Amino acid sequence: MGSHMLMCGLTLTTLFSMISVSMADDKSVCNFPAIFNFGDSNSDTGGLSAAFGQAPPPHGESYFHHPAGRYCDGRVIIDFIAQKLGLPLLSAYLDSVGTNFSHGANFATAGSTVRPQNTTLRQGGFSPISLDVQFVEFCEFQNRTQTFRAQNEVFKSLLPPAEYFNDALYTFDIGQNDLTSGYFSNMSVTEVKAYIPDVLLQLSNTIRYIYARGGRYFWIHNTGPVGCLPYVIDRLLVRTPDVDAAGCATPFNEVAQVFNEGLKQSVMELRKELPLAALTYVDVYTLKYEMFTNPSKHGFVDPLRACCGHGGKYNYNANIGCGAMKNVNGTQIMIGKACKDPGVKVIWDGVHFTQAANKFITEHIETGAFSDPPIPLKMACLRNPPTSH
Ligand SMILES: *[C@@H]1O[C@H](CO)[C@@H](O)[C@H](O)[C@H]1NC(C)=O
Ligand SMILES: *[C@@H]1O[C@H](CO)[C@@H](O)[C@H](O)[C@H]1NC(C)=O
Ligand SMILES: *[C@@H]1O[C@H](CO)[C@@H](O)[C@H](O)[C@H]1NC(C)=O
Ligand SMILES: *[C@@H]1O[C@H](CO)[C@@H](O)[C@H](O)[C@H]1NC(C)=O
Ligand SMILES: *[C@@H]1O[C@H](CO)[C@@H](O)[C@H](O)[C@H]1NC(C)=O
């Protein structure tokens, strides 16, 4: 690192001309040495699996060829981001075996919310590793890595040096479960909307705390069109039969957009408050929604129908998940099977996106075209965003 400090002082004119140069060599602009990720299943790379058991086969089949802690047939967006930045895939902080944190750590777990839930995983289906817990884990990680690095060469090669905590990209993809947890406990969209400011405050506070511990570069995904996901439509459409042309449940998407407007606003406020931070708000909602509204344009078919599941209109059954087995005359048979070609599907298991969808999203967010400020991923260390002038 080092070079980015100079880059941040560049004039606006220089910044624009840099953005127009080819993407080929701009890795040198920020050169992030590590990624620290906070989130839910959209970016879990093994956290929930480490504590509560692996997502079973056929998860991971398209890339890892075995379950790999992801709720996907292959890579999730944070995997693609790591690869775009030339970094290894992130180990989950909770994984105790085979991990290498030299270039970052992933604190995300499937089912995580920003706000701590008052139900257990079994009761509500949400992870106990909410964002406040992820932050505590991060603090422990930051301190303990330095203690252990001082001990020997093995730890030195497995753990990040202190300066990586300043130079790293801090990524966030969380909030979706804060919305669905309300719906699943029978709250109305009005009731859910009413607590969004609290969710956003707690998310902003986590960013403030990380900044206070030296973090400077933040890459923040907004939340997706939950009203297009089979697990939401299947469970909740009876309550709100209001669908759009793509078949998505409009009220739930509207709430997601309210959340996103608030998030964008929060990020703008943090920009004023944290003078040394570069904060990028990334609109994954638009890209996710695009796959439902114009699937064939991007090589996808039948976007509302899950690839891996068991029957029904959406190939989704809340009681028979992806990879579910059944004992038939003494033989275990998979009844939650995957489709033949996950590469043309948008939804993997009724809740999560396929690797193909995640790749589509990453390729578009990487360029900066869906970000505020509109600068590419590899330049996300630049402050003084064009949009603030
Ligand atoms: C959990 O309970 C506390 C105390 O009653 C409350 O303040 C908080 O909002 C609750 N959290 C959620 C997610 O409902
Ligand atoms: C981390 O270490 C610093 C310095 O030793 C200490 O002041 C701080 O309390 C520690 N934080 C945590 C979360 O353990
Ligand atoms: C951890 O990963 C880094 C980067 O890939 C590598 O250089 C290092 O040798 C690895 N450490 C161990 C002990 O495998
Ligand atoms: C929500 O309402 C349904 C139908 O009335 C009921 O079966 C279910 O137990 C309720 N769930 C919660 C969490 O209150
Ligand atoms: C299970 O075994 C019974 C008795 O042999 C047989 O009638 C039935 O068709 C078998 N079921 C399946 C699904 O093979």
- One digit per residue, the tens of pLDDT, for the chain of length 389 reads 333 332 322 333 333 344 443 344 444 589 999 999 999 999 999 999 999 999 999 999 999 999 999 999 999 999 999 999 999 999 999 999 999 999 999 999 999 999 999 999 999 999 999 999 999 999 999 999 999 999 999 999 999 999 999 999 999 999 999 999 999 999 999 999 999 999 999 999 999 999 999 999 999 999 999 999 999 999 887 776 799 999 999 999 999 999 999 999 999 999 999 999 999 999 999 999 999 999 999 999 999 999 999 999 999 999 999 999 999 999 999 999 999 999 999 999 999 999 999 999 999 999 999 999 999 999 999 986 544 43
Ligand 3 centroid distance, CA of 112 (Å) = 29
Ligand 3 centroid distance, CA of 100 (Å) = 6
Cα 89 to Cα 82: distance, rounded to the nearest angstrom:
6
Report the Cα 318 to chain-centroid distance in Å: 23
Predicted confidence at residue 143, as pLDDT, reads 97
Predicted confidence at residue 239, as pLDDT, reads 73
From atom 3 of ligand 1, which residue's Cα is the shortest distance away?
118
Cβ(24) – ligand 5 distance below 6 Å? no
Cβ(143) – ligand 2 distance below 6 Å? yes
H/E segment holding residue 235: helix 230-236
Predicted confidence at residue 24, as pLDDT, reads 41
Is it true that the peptide bond before 225 is cis, omega within 30 degrees of 0? no
H/E segment holding residue 182: helix 176-184
Cβ(139) – ligand 2 distance below 6 Å? yes
Predicted confidence at residue 384, as pLDDT, reads 62
Cα 23 to Cα 36: distance, rounded to the nearest angstrom:
23
Cα 281 to Cα 176: distance, rounded to the nearest angstrom:
16
Copy the structure tokens of residue 140.
Answer: 């422990």
Q: Which residue has the tokens 């719906």?
A: 183
Predicted confidence at residue 60, as pLDDT, reads 98
- 264's CB contacts (< 8 A; 6+ apart) are 222, 281, 372
From atom 13 of ligand 5, which residue's Cα is the shortest distance away?
328
Sheet of 169-173, strands arranged across: 104-106, 35-39, 169-173, 217-221, 278-282, 371-372
**Cβ–Cβ < 8 Å for 253, 225:** yes
Task: Give me Rg for the CA atoms of the chain.
Answer: 21
Cβ(123) – ligand 4 distance below 6 Å? no
Residues designated catalytic:
41, 349, 352
Cβ(156) – ligand 3 distance below 6 Å? no
Which ligand ends up closest to the CA of 162?
Answer: 2
Of 120, 186, 187, the one to substitute when testing ligand 4's pocket (max ligand atoms within 8 A of C-beta) is 186
Predicted confidence at residue 23, as pLDDT, reads 42
Q: So what CATH class is 3-18+31-301+349-379?
A: alpha beta
**Cβ–Cβ < 8 Å for 71, 55:** yes
From atom 1 of ligand 1, which residue's Cα is the shortest distance away?
118
